[in-house]
Amino acid sequence: MYNEQVQMAGKNLGALNAVYELQLQDSNNHLKQTSKFYDGINQLMSNLNESLDDTKKYKDEVSKLAKNLSSLNTVYGNMLSAMNLNPNK
């Protein structure tokens, strides 16, 4: 009877060990997936920061373009005014 109880305890410990091993594997897989997820988040943040710099450059260039167009419009308007004021034409 004692021998049977020891054998049963051994089987139960073996079963518990198998369950524990499966839980460890599952936890390890979950940890790997979480790590991949955070790597993806970090890459996304890096890409957003890079595009933020590009967006600022784009904004600055559009602002310069608007100023240049305004200056050209002023020059063109002055030329038209000068041509209309010329009495020889």
Could you give the 3-state DSSP secondary structure of residue 88? Answer: coil
Q: Could you report the per-residue pLDDT of 15-44, keeping only the tens digit for each?
A: 999 999 999 999 999 999 999 999 999 999
DSSP 43-76: HHHHHHHHHHHHHHHHHHHHHHHHHHHHHHHHHH
**The model's pTM:** 0.51
Tokens at 53, concatenated: 């710099």
- Find the Cα–Cα–Cα–Cα dihedral 27, 30, 31, 32, rounded to 10°: 130
**Cβ within 8 Å of residue 89, ≥6 positions away:** 83
pLDDT, tens digit, 9 for 90 and up, residues 65-83? 999 999 999 999 999 888 8
